[in-house]
């Protein structure tokens, strides 16, 4: 359990910072920028967090659930408009997309690492020459 908490902690802190602190700056007169936050900043956060997590560890289907769960708390605290809850599914899908993109990079990195670790062979290593019972002599001119 402690490993899971340690693995997710930095990502949860970053997502929570963006999802819970950023709406403070979009309250009051800046309310017109609220849609920019919901449609660009939060999905970008979910995408980049999923990408960076999966880039290092491979795909994990529980990770994309972090952003929507924190977003639900943000809606309950700041918005009080429950029609914004449709974004829960959008952030979940965007987080999964980030995880799949990060997993593709992770698999490419693993394949590259395995390729580098293979011993290098010269071109002649593919041929085996076996001579038995044949005497080779130098010709005199």
Eight-state DSSP code of residue 82 = G
Specify the pLDDT at position 117. Answer: 78
**Sign (positive or negative) of CA dihedral 16, 18, 21, 26:** negative
Eight-state DSSP code of residue 27 = S
Digit-coded pLDDT (tens) for 52-93: 988 888 888 888 888 888 888 887 887 766 677 788 898 899
Which residues contact residue 19 at a Cβ distance below 8 angstroms, ignoring those fewer than 6 apart? 42, 45, 67, 70, 71, 73, 74
Averaged pLDDT, 126-139: 56
Confidence of residue 30 (pLDDT cuts 50, 70, 90): low
């Amino acid at each position: 359990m402690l490993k899971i908490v340690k693995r997710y902690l930095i990502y949860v802190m970053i997502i929570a910072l963006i999802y819970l602190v950023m709406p403070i700056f979009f309250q009051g007169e800046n309310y017109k920028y609220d849609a920019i936050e919901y449609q660009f900043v939060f999905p970008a956060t979910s995408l980049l967090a999923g990408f960076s997590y999966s880039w290092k560890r491979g795909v994990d289907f529980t990770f994309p659930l972090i952003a929507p769960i924190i977003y639900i708390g943000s809606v309950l605290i700041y918005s009080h408009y429950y029609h914004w809850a449709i974004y829960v599914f959008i952030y979940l899908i965007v987080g999964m997309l980030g995880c799949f993109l990060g997993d593709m990079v992770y698999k490419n990195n693993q394949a590259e690492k395995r390729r580098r670790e293979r011993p290098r062979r010269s071109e002649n290593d593919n041929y085996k020459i076996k001579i038995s019972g044949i005497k080779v002599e130098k010709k005199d001119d």
